[in-house]
């Protein structure tokens, strides 16, 4: 019997009906999904850290501007 290899999008689409436990076992058995989940996780963390970094610098900039104007 010929085994059909599923694409990653089809696998993700079929995972929508699975429980969390089944999803995690599916991800742990599929190296492409592991890579995808890891990459997306790193991307979101970097985006979050960069957002906090920019936000902190903007707050500091406006604080210094306020001090300069009030002086």
Distance CA 50, CA 37 (A): 20
Answer whether residue 1 shows pLDDT above 50. no
Q: Which residues contact 28 (CB under 8 A, 6 or more apart)?
A: 34
Q: pLDDT by residue (tens digit) across 5-33?
A: 678 888 888 888 999 999 999 899 988 89
Q: What's the pTM value of the predicted model, to 2 decimals? A: 0.63
């Amino acid at each position: 019997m010929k085994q059909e290899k599923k694409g990653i999008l089809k696998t993700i689409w079929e995972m929508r009906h699975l429980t969390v436990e089944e999803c995690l076992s599916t991800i742990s058995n599929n190296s492409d999904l592991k890579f995808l989940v890891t990459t997306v996780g790193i991307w979101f963390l970097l985006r979050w850290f960069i957002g906090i970094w920019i936000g902190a610098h903007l707050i500091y900039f406006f604080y210094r501007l306020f001090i300069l104007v009030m002086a």
